[in-house]
Amino acid sequence: MKSLYGKFVLFTIFIMLSSFFITFFIINTLYHQTLKVSNDDKNMNIALNIADFIENNETIELDNYLNTQANAGYKIYVVDETQEKTLYGNEFRTNNLSHKAINSVLAGQEYHGMRELPKETFVTGIFSDELANTVGVPFKFNDKQYALFLRTDIKLLFSEIQYLLGGMFIGMAVLSLLAMLIVAKKLIKPITELTEATKKVGEEKFVYHLNINQKDEIGQLATSFQSMVRKLEEHDQLRKEFISDVSHDFQTPLQNIQGYSELLSDTTLSDDKRIQYSNVIRDETERLSSLTKQLLLLTSLDQLSAPLQISSVSLDEQLRQVVQRNRWGLEDQELSLTLELEPLTIKADPSFLENIWENLLSNAIKYTPKQGEIKILMSSKKDHVKITFEDNGIGIAKEHIPHIFERFYRADAARHRGIEGTGLGLSIAKQITELHGGKLMIDSTPKIGTTITVELPLL
């Protein structure tokens, strides 16, 4: 039986049966160890009283008297000196009384069969309906020697109240079992619902409206599951959008390369046109190369399983090197650059940190018109340092600011000016900044310029 409910049913029955047998063995052992002697003494006193009454009343009808005692709840087994045996009351289940015990009682000895019952776990003690599990006493009646063996008749001792109590116990056990099964069904139902929902999620059917309103651990599990599914749905949507955006961003330059490559195959093409088309192919190739590098960087950031490779970084020197590498772009656009740096060493991952400055500076160059101005400013305090990139470029409209760090997002102003970026630079810069425990903030006004501030902690 593989279902959880089936296992619960089997475990419940097993536990109830085990509890019954363990309790029985404990009580039976307690009887053998403690109560057996007391029970033997009680029955011996009863047998002695019966024998004494018979010996002091020789006028009684012996059979009638012993039948009366048997009807009162006893099993009486009498053997006379001629070995004639008479049973008064119900039959014993096992007639295993030895001749030695009979002859001993006929000789005047008392027989303590209850007290001498073997001390074994599987011997049922007081419930053992054996002739050997009796007490025996001698008596004389009409000058004839007898041996009387006696024990209580368990069947006759059970009164109506005892039967009612026994029935109540059995009824309680049955009702308890049924109640446990109903409760188990209710407990397992939400788990079954969660299992079905999990299968649907595996099929990318993000159904997270579960009909589970419990406040216990299962309810907490359902709440966590719904939260997880919402995040999975968001991630799945982002994944699909990401694939769509990547496909679009790859498709456009590839189509341009293919189209201009076909144009270059025209033998009548002038040299000027040939150079123009070659430059387009070169620019589109560089664009693809940049996009590929940034996608690889994003992948490494998203799958960053090991900690950042933290080391000492001379921040001012790193910024100067980034500026030097982009000198050609500044000169091509005839941009003026102001650097206000101070000697400062911080703890960071140098390769990732460098990507922040590369992206911010390349964006400033790209979106600042010719003869514009770019400023890179640094200011440090006790626990953090701020690096600010200012430009007087095209700026960003207020409605685009909340989305500017989304992957592949490009503001309309950039598209209208024919500037083709990847839409990944700011997303990468922000993610790397946050991995270092810092913050990236942006302030921009259309046609006035943009200010981006990176705040990093001083570890």
Residue 8: CATH number of its domain: 3.30.450
Identity (one letter) of the amino acid at 22? I
Alpha-helical (H) ranges within 265-307 are 271-302
User: Based on the domain organization, do 38 and 135 belong to the same domain?
Assistant: yes
Q: How far apart are CA 233 and CA 207, in angstroms?
A: 9
Largest CA distance in the chain: 154
Query: Average pLDDT, stretch 411-437?
Result: 68
Q: Is residue 172 part of a domain?
A: no
Per residue in 172-185, pLDDT tens?
A: 878 877 877 777 77
Residue ranges making up the domain that contains 437: 305-457
User: Based on the domain organization, do 295 and 318 belong to the same domain?
Assistant: no
- pLDDT beyond 90 at 275: no
The residues facing 74 across adjacent strands are 152
First to last CA, the chain: 59
Identity (one letter) of the amino acid at 77? Y
The C-alpha angle 284, 401, 252, rounded to 5 degrees, equals: 20
Domain total in the chain: 3
Q: Is residue 277 part of a domain?
A: yes
0.95 exceeded by pTM: no
Q: How far apart are CA 427 and CA 28, in angstroms?
A: 77
Per residue in 308-352, pLDDT tens?
A: 788 999 999 999 999 998 888 898 889 999 999 999 999 998 888
Domain final residue, candidates 303, 336, 359: 303
pLDDT at 43 (0 to 100): 92
User: Based on the domain organization, do 448 and 375 belong to the same domain?
Assistant: yes
User: Based on the domain organization, do 338 and 413 belong to the same domain?
Assistant: yes
CATH number (domain holding residue 403): 3.30.565.10
User: Based on the domain organization, do 319 and 334 belong to the same domain?
Assistant: yes
Of residues 394 and 179, more confidence is placed in: 394
Per residue in 245-271, pLDDT tens?
A: 666 667 767 887 888 888 888 888 888
Confidence of residue 45 (pLDDT cuts 50, 70, 90): very high
User: Based on the domain organization, do 289 and 312 belong to the same domain?
Assistant: no
Query: Average pLDDT, stretch 179-204?
Result: 76
Q: Is residue 180 part of a domain?
A: no
Q: Is residue 183 part of a domain?
A: no
Confidence of residue 109 (pLDDT cuts 50, 70, 90): very high
Beta-carbon count within 10 A of 153 CB: 19
User: Based on the domain organization, do 250 and 345 belong to the same domain?
Assistant: no
User: Based on the domain organization, do 151 and 31 belong to the same domain?
Assistant: yes
- pLDDT beyond 70 at 81: yes
pLDDT at 419 (0 to 100): 46
User: Based on the domain organization, do 28 and 146 belong to the same domain?
Assistant: yes
Of 247, 253, 273, give the one whose Cα is nearest residue 420: 253
User: Based on the domain organization, do 273 and 414 belong to the same domain?
Assistant: no
Q: Is residue 347 part of a domain?
A: yes
Query: Average pLDDT, stretch 346-361?
Result: 89
